[in-house]
């Protein structure tokens, strides 16, 4: 701590396994743990302690905090870090993404989803939070930033993470499975049950009811092959991106899965006519919401149309009266809908904004029910809303129809543009085509595998 700096008491009582992390003197530490196990808290305390010890010893140095995305950094990593941060140790400068330490050192705050995020930096200590979401190249670059001058002590790295990915992930293969041959690596695993400050009833209930593989991953903190995944192709590296401003000429529509005790999931979808990619760009994910609230969300986003859960007729009629926008009942052919989404994932043409975290999480855990060919109810809400959003050939999304800038392929009478909210079809025949036809497979949904 800097001489004369104002301080506050940092109260942290580690549980037994957290203490082992703090006691380790290894060059690299890898903590893989389940949700609510205390991994982020001990990461923050470890970094603060290392900085404080250096400042007390008169060492001026730079440090690094790295997260996989700015969203995770802001919602979890930094929030926890500043919850323990002693007054007087340093000042957070958000615009520069640094903490300016009282002795002149710097804590660099970086996101791994930015190219060359750590290039040009040096660090005496580094903390990578949710490290399994970072790719192997990022890990190697962080290790390079820790190289010290000849004769100086080696830099140290702490990685805290939930085990995202399969057992074939770089972290599991390169570090965990090889740990017996890596004397510079300290590895430890926590489960939620190891945290004495968490209500164990939550853990016991999940163990009794959840898919065994998902329980092992999310609660026990183990890299496992999840059995029965419906979308094994989905991964955060290929199918998640930073949010960006959507061009005004891109179409926007939504899929809606209604729930009361379960959450209502509404996912906004748009299409890039140049890259031919579909983006899921916004999500409503809340339970016990009245039709007025749902309607206001839809109105705020001004979706051209919303394809809704066919089991929620009464609520959707109420919602329609609130938002005055076009509503259509979705087709609920589950197997066909899953095949369409699978096709887009395999072609890397379905991308989620990282702000749609609930949808991303549910895609990673969407499984078939044990002993069944039907999806389990858990983690089904967002995948259902995605499936509804692609269930009908409305607004020409399958022929990439758009008035104004994008060529339009029409079928039959062309006096009705379904993207125009204020025009009505002149014949029932046109209305039937646009509202009831399923996706033609010859465009982007061909699941036959033929070229």
Check which CATH number belongs to the domain holding 89 and give it: 3.40.50.300
Does 155 map to a domain? yes
Does 226 map to a domain? no
Residues 280 and 426 in one domain: yes
Residues 6 or more apart whose Cβ sits within 8 Å of residue 368: 228, 230, 374, 375, 376
Residues 201 and 312 in one domain: no
Residues 301 and 173 in one domain: no
> Can you give the pLDDT at residue 115?
61
Assign 151 to helix, strand or coil.
coil
* Separation CA 241–CA 13 (nearest Å): 37
Assign 299 to helix, strand or coil.
helix
Does 323 map to a domain? yes
Place of tokens 């593989």: 213
Total residues found in the chain within this entry: 451
> Can you give the pLDDT at residue 10?
62
The residue ranking higher by pLDDT, 269 or 438, is 269
> Can you give the pLDDT at residue 441?
28
Does 443 map to a domain? no
Is residue 263 exposed (0-12), middle (13-18) or buried (19+ Cβ within 10 Å)?
A: buried
Residues 204 and 243 in one domain: no
Q: Of the given ranges (49-58, 113-122, 269-278, 279-288), which has the lowest mean pLDDT? A: 113-122
> Can you give the pLDDT at residue 20?
97
Q: Which residues pair with 280 in a beta bridge?
A: 269, 352
Of 52, 61, 76, the C-alpha closest to 129 is: 76
Domain endpoint, select from 208, 228, 262? 208
The residue ranking higher by pLDDT, 115 or 59, is 59
CA quadruple 134, 31, 233, 364: dihedral, nearest 10: -110
The residue ranking higher by pLDDT, 341 or 447, is 341
* Separation CA 262–CA 210 (nearest Å): 16
Q: Name the pLDDT band for 424 (thresholds 50, 70, 90).
A: very low
Residues 197 and 255 in one domain: no
Residues 166 and 313 in one domain: no
Helix, strand and coil percent figures for the chain, each rounded to 5: 35, 20, 45
Q: Tally the C-alpha atoms within 13 A of residue 214's C-alpha that lie toward its C-beta.
A: 21
Residues 244 and 164 in one domain: no
Alpha carbon 285 to chain centroid, angstroms = 14
Does the structure show a pLDDT above 70 at 143?
yes
CA distances from residue 433 to 17, 330, 414 in whole angstroms, order as listed: 62, 14, 12
> Can you give the pLDDT at residue 209?
80
Does 451 map to a domain? no
Does the structure show a pLDDT above 50 at 430?
no
Does 8 map to a domain? no
Assign 241 to helix, strand or coil.
strand
Does 3 map to a domain? no
Q: Name the pLDDT band for 440 (thresholds 50, 70, 90).
A: very low
Percent of the chain with pLDDT over 70: 84
pTM higher than 0.85: no
Does 1 map to a domain? no
Considering 2-11, 207-216, 387-396, the range whose residues carry the highest mean pLDDT is 207-216
> Can you give the pLDDT at residue 394?
58
Q: Of the given ranges (122-136, 275-289, 398-412), which has the lowest mean pLDDT? A: 398-412
Residues 333 and 274 in one domain: yes
What is the average per-residue pLDDT within 353-367? 90
Largest CA distance in the chain: 83
Instruction: Quote the mean pLDDT of the chain.
Output: 83
- In the DSSP assignment, the letter for residue 196 is T
The rounded radius of gyration (Å) of the Cα atoms in the chain is: 25
Backbone angles phi and psi of 2, in degrees to 5: -65, 145
One DSSP character per residue, 383-431 reads HHHHHHHTSS--TTTTTT--TTTS-----S--S--TT-TT---SSHHHH
* Separation CA 330–CA 319 (nearest Å): 15
pLDDT tens, residue by residue, 49-88: 999 999 999 999 999 999 988 888 998 999 999 999 999 9
Is residue 114 exposed (0-12), middle (13-18) or buried (19+ Cβ within 10 Å)?
A: exposed
> Can you give the pLDDT at residue 437?
33
Residues 267 and 334 in one domain: yes
Give a three-class secondary structure readout of 292-334. HHHHHHHHHHCCCEEEECCCCHHHHHHHHHHHCCEEEECCCCH
Considering 131-135, 146-150, 180-184, the range whose residues carry the highest mean pLDDT is 180-184
| CATH number for position 406 | 3.30.420.280
Residues 178 and 240 in one domain: no
Does the structure show a pLDDT above 90 at 359?
yes
> Can you give the pLDDT at residue 1?
35
Residues 268 and 406 in one domain: yes
Domains: count for the chain: 2
pLDDT tens, residue by residue, 400-409: 323 223 333 3
Residues 281 and 418 in one domain: yes
Instruction: List the domain range (segments joined by +) for residue 166.
Output: 16-208
> Can you give the pLDDT at residue 172?
92
Percent of the chain with pLDDT over 90: 52
Strands 240-241, 106-111: parallel, antiparallel or unpaired by DSSP?
Answer: unpaired
Give a three-class secondary structure readout of 251-297. CEEEEEECCCCCCEEEEEEEEECCCCEEEEEEEEEECCCCHHHHHHH
Q: Of the given ranges (14-18, 138-142, 309-313), which has the lowest mean pLDDT? A: 309-313
> Can you give the pLDDT at residue 412?
39
pLDDT tens, residue by residue, 219-230: 999 998 777 889
Does the structure show a pLDDT above 70 at 3?
no
Does the structure show a pLDDT above 80 at 343?
yes
Q: Which residues pair with 90 in a beta bridge?
A: 101
> Can you give the pLDDT at residue 421?
33
* Separation CA 427–CA 329 (nearest Å): 20
> Can you give the pLDDT at residue 90?
96
What is the average per-residue pLDDT within 12-24? 95
pLDDT tens, residue by residue, 296-337: 999 999 998 899 988 889 899 889 888 888 888 898 889 888
* Separation CA 129–CA 360 (nearest Å): 18
């Amino acid at each position: 701590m800097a001489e004369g700096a104002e301080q506050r008491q940092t109260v942290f009582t580690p549980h037994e396994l957290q203490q082992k992390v703090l006691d380790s003197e290894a060059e690299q530490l890898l903590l893989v743990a389940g949700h609510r196990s205390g991994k982020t808290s001990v990461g923050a305390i470890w970094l603060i302690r290392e900085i404080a010890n250096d400042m007390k010893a008169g060492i001026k140095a730079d440090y690094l905090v790295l997260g996989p995305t700015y969203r995770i950094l802001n919602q979890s990593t930094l929030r926890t870090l500043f919850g323990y941060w002693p007054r007087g140790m340093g000042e957070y400068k958000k615009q520069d993404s640094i903490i300016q330490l009282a002795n002149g050192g710097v804590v660099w705050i970086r996101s791994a989803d930015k190219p060359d995020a750590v290039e040009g930096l040096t660090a005496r200590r580094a903390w990578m939070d949710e490290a399994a979401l970072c790719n192997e190249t990022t890990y190697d670059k962080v290790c390079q930033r820790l190289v010290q001058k000849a004769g100086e002590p080696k830099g140290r790295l702490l990685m805290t993470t939930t085990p995202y990915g399969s057992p074939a992930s770089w972290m599991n293969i390169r570090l965990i499975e090889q740990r017996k041959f890596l004397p510079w690596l300290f590895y430890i695993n926590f489960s939620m049950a190891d945290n004495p400050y968490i209500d164990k009833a939550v853990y016991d209930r999940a163990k009794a009811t959840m898919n065994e593989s998902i329980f092992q991953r999310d609660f026990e903190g183990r890299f496992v092959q999840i059995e029965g995944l419906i979308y094994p192709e989905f991964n955060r590296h290929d199918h998640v991106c930073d949010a960006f401003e959507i061009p005004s000429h891109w179409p926007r529509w939504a899929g809606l899965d209604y729930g009361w005790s379960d959450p209502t999931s509404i996912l906004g979808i748009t299409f890039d006519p140049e890259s031919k990619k579909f983006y899921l760009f916004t999500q409503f994910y809340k339970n016990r919401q009245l039709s007025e609230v749902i309607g206001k969300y839809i109105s705020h986003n001004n979706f051209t149309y919303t394809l809704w859960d066919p089991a929620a007729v009464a609520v959707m009629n109420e919602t329609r009266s609130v938002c005055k926008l076009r509503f259509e009942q979705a087709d609920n052919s589950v197997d066909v809908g899953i095949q369409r989404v699978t096709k887009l994932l395999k072609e890397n043409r379905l991308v989620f904004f990282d702000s749609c975290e609930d949808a991303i999480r549910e895609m990673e855990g969407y499984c078939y029910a044990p002993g069944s060919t039907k999806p389990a109810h858990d983690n089904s809400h967002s995948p259902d809303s995605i499936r509804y959003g692609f269930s009908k050939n409305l607004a020409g999304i399958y022929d990439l129809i758009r008035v104004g800038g994008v060529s339009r392929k029409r079928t039959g009478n062309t006096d009705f543009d379904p993207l125009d909210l204020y025009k009505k079809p002149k014949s029932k025949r046109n209305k039937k085509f646009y509202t009831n036809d399923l996706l033609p497979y010859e465009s982007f949904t061909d699941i036959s595998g033929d070229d």
